[in-house]
Amino acid sequence: MTEYLIAFNDEWVPEHTAEELREKARVSHALIAEMQAEGVLIFTNGGLDRSTAVCGVESVDGKPVFTDGPYVETKEHLGGFVVVDVPDDEAARYWAGRLATVLDWPQEVHRFRSAGMARGDGSGER
């Protein structure tokens, strides 16, 4: 199995009414439940935008230097993501397509080069 990041930028999401957003939440939660039932979901979260950036940090002379807000000025910000563990690109594209359809905004798919590490797991294996 291979891990994939399926993500969208906040700026790709068109304006919605509160009722439309509640409906998007309902249908996306149903899809996430389906991913859980299929055993492909590793982690998901959303609701990110420029206002949720806590700080940026970089190393200066071997010490962390923190700045308020995002590290760089950019026009795009991560809006949400799903990490799935599926057999191949086709399966990742399937789930991304399902997300794009229920949410009605674009998704981007990235293949991780190797398995990640989970909390409490120093091996890199699951």
Four-CA torsion 12, 18, 20, 21, nearest 10 degrees: 50
**Does the model's pTM come out above 0.85?**
no
How far, in Å, CA of 69 to CA of 31, rounded? 32
Residue 123, pLDDT score: 52
- Residue that wins the pLDDT comparison between 123 and 82: 82
Q: Are 84 and 4 in contact (CB under 8 A)?
A: yes
| pLDDT, tens digit, 9 for 90 and up, residues 19-65 | 998 998 999 999 999 999 999 999 998 877 777 777 888 899 999 99
How far, in Å, CA of 49 to CA of 95, rounded? 23
